[in-house]
Each structure stands twice: as structure tokens, then as C-alpha cells.
């Protein structure tokens, strides 16, 4: 039986992610206390239920002691239960804006507290509480710049293939003007390549358009860059796997995240797939960027 522990910061998108898991056939349980996880898993195994893929949402609503959760997870080793931890996070300013929009109370803010300072302190406290489980997470997803549909796509593309047990690579294109993705393991700067932004007929197109791709790849430099990039990543992949890493996020950046980074990220995804490595694509800034 496969159990995914879905956890992370309040306001980072756990409810949305849980819905996405349900869409691809997972049975989801919300707000389970860590102390009940072992018993719940044992009952599922003993029942012989056909449902073998389960998502359990565990966060600070149910407990502030996550050492107990990690102890339970360690106890699953060598058993019939395969446990994966998925951790969602976001920047402080993003979490604050989301709470302002929804007007919901943070679970660590009491009813008699209601100002911005209380919310900021609660987020700081929550990060500290969750730090041990974040450090043990198999997947860390930063939702700061994700729309609901982008988060759905990320969950579905990563977890829909339940039979796949190898490393999952996320190829992310981004624009430096919007910041480097905080969940990136490897970051590559491709601002050295020819920029379609300055070609009037290409400016409003993106790196997924053939005309932009042909322009970026037309000089001799992209070929050499891609060869070295593939060689480095191919060397690093077994090293990450030997350390038990199951998720790798490779971020490729250009100025605005619309042209050059998109082209190279697409090339990376194709390279991984040729090697039968599951690779998903995330063009974080493609639609918002103008450069």
C-alpha cells in the first residue's frame, strides 16, 4: 500500500493538492493526527481494501509534535506500506496575501488575535514546527507563483503514474525578473543565448512556438551548451539517486521566462524521456512575461 503524507505550510495549497490527488484516484483523508497514522495504515492493510493509494493530510491543525510523525514513518520501513512525504511551501508574502483574500484565520492565530503581526509570527512559528518534516520530505513544491490549475497540473503530472518508482525530474523555466524558484535543486542561466524578445515578430510568441525555438537554436552556442548541460546532469543523476533523492527540480532561467528558458527546458524534458526518466515540465513565467 502506498501512503502519501501531504503536509506543509497553512495556505500553501494542501486542499487544492488533495483535490488533484482525488482526481487521479487517490483516497484522501484530511487532518489526521500523527498519533493515528500507524493505526490507520494497519487497518487499511488488514481490511484488504482494493484502495491501495492513500493521501493523508497532516499539518499543524492536528498537532505541533512532528517528531511523532517521523517516528511512525520510520516504522514503515520494511513493511507492506510505502510512505512518501509531499511538502508544500510558499513565500511569507504569498501566504499573507492568500489569508487576506480568503479572510480565514491561520490555525496558530487565536481568536483574540487578528492583526498582521500575529499572522507573520504564526507563519514563522509554523515554519519552525514543520522544519523536521520538511527536511525529510521526498517532494518539496513551492506554490508561491502557482495558480490553482498549475498546482493541479504539477500534482497530476508527478503522481498519476503510480507504477513508476524511479526519480521524477521537474524541468522548470523561469524569468530572473520574477525570482529564482526556491525549490530548485539545480539552476542554469541561459541569458547568454540569442534573445527573441528583440525580434518584433517573435516578441509576443513563446519558447513553445516553432519560430522561437528555431531562432534560439540557430546559433552554434545552444548546441554546445545543451551538450555540456546534458553531460553534467547525466553525471549527477546517479549521485542524487544514491543519496535516496526521488525528486529533482532543474530550473532554467532567462530574463523573463518566456523564450530562451522555455526552449532549453523543453530540450531537457525530451532528453530525460529518451532515457526513460519521468520528466514533467513547468513553464512558470511563460504567460506572464513580456521579455
For the stretch 2-14, pLDDT in tens is 899 999 999 999 9
Please, are residues 186 and 245 in contact by the beta-carbon 8 Å criterion?
Answer: no
Residues above pLDDT 70, as percent of the chain = 95
Torsion, Cα 264 269 271 275, to 10 degrees, reads: 170
Give the tens place of pLDDT for each residue, 73-110. 998 887 788 899 999 999 999 999 999 888 788 999 88
Burial of 32 (0-12, 13-18, 19+ CB in 10 A): middle
CA distance 284 to 289: 10
pTM here? Answer: 0.73
Residue ranges of domains in the chain: 2-159, 168-283
| The predicted structure's pLDDT at residue 51 | 60
Q: Which fold is adopted by the domain 2-159?
A: Rossmann fold (3.40.50)
| The predicted structure's pLDDT at residue 234 | 95
Measure the N-to-C terminal CA separation of the chain; round to a whole number of Å: 47
**Could you please report the per-residue DSSP string of 146-158?**
--HHHHHHHHHHH
CA distance 264 to 286: 13
Please, are residues 170 and 233 in contact by the beta-carbon 8 Å criterion?
Answer: no
| The predicted structure's pLDDT at residue 233 | 95
Residues 268-290 as b or e (16 or more Cβ within 10 Å = b): bbebbeeeebbbbbbbbbbeebe
Could you tell me the three cell numbers for 261?
Answer: 528558458
Give the tens place of pLDDT for each residue, 135-168. 999 999 999 988 888 899 889 888 988 777 788 8
Please, are residues 259 and 148 in contact by the beta-carbon 8 Å criterion?
Answer: no
Amino acid at each position: 500500500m502506498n501512503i502519501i503524507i501531504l503536509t506543509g505550510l497553512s495556505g500553501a495549497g494542501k486542499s487544492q493538492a488533495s483535490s488533484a490527488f482525488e482526481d487521479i484516484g487517490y483516497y484522501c483523508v484530511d487532518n489526521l493526527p500523527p498519533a493515528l497514522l500507524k493505526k490507520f495504515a494497519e487497518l487499511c492493510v488488514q481490511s484488504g481494501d482494493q484502495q491501495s493509494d492513500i493521501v493523508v493530510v497532516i499539518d499543524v491543525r492536528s498537532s505541533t509534535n512532528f517528531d511523532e510523525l517521523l517516528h511512525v514513518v520510520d516504522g514503515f520501513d520494511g513493511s507492506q506500506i510505502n510512505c512518501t512525504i509531499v511538502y508544500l511551501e510558499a513565500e511569507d508574502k504569498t501566504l499573507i496575501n492568500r489569508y487576506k483574500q480568503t479572510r480565514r484565520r491561520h490555525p496558530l492565530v487565536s481568536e483574540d488575535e487578528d492583526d498582521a503581526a500575529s499572522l507573520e509570527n504564526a507563519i514563522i512559528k509554523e515554519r519552525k514546527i514543520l522544519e523536521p518534516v520538511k527536511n525529510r520530505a521526498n517532494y518539496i513544491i513551492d506554490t508561491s507563483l502557482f495558480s490553482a490549475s498549475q498546482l493541479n497540473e504539477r500534482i497530476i503530472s508527478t503522481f498519476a503514474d503510480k507504477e513508476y518508482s524511479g526519480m521524477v525530474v521537474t524541468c522548470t523555466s523561469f524569468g530572473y525578473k520574477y525570482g529564482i524558484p526556491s525549490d530548485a535543486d539545480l539552476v542554469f542561466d541561459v541569458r547568454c543565448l540569442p534573445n527573441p524578445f528583440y525580434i518584433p515578430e517573435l516578441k509576443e510568441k513563446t519558447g513553445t512556438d516553432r519560430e522561437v525555438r528555431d531562432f534560439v537554436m540557430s546559433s552554434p552556442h545552444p548546441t554546445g551548451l545543451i551538450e555540456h548541460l546534458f553531460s553534467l546532469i547525466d553525471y549527477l543523476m546517479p549521485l542524487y539517486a544514491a543519496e535516496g533523492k526521488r525528486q529533482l527540480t532543474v530550473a532554467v532561467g532567462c530574463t523573463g521566462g518566456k523564450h530562451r528558458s522555455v526552449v532549453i527546458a523543453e530540450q531537457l524534458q525530451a532528453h530525460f524521456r529518451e532515457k526513460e526518466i519521468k520528466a514533467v515540465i513547468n513553464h512558470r513565467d511563460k504567460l506572464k512575461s513580456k521579455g
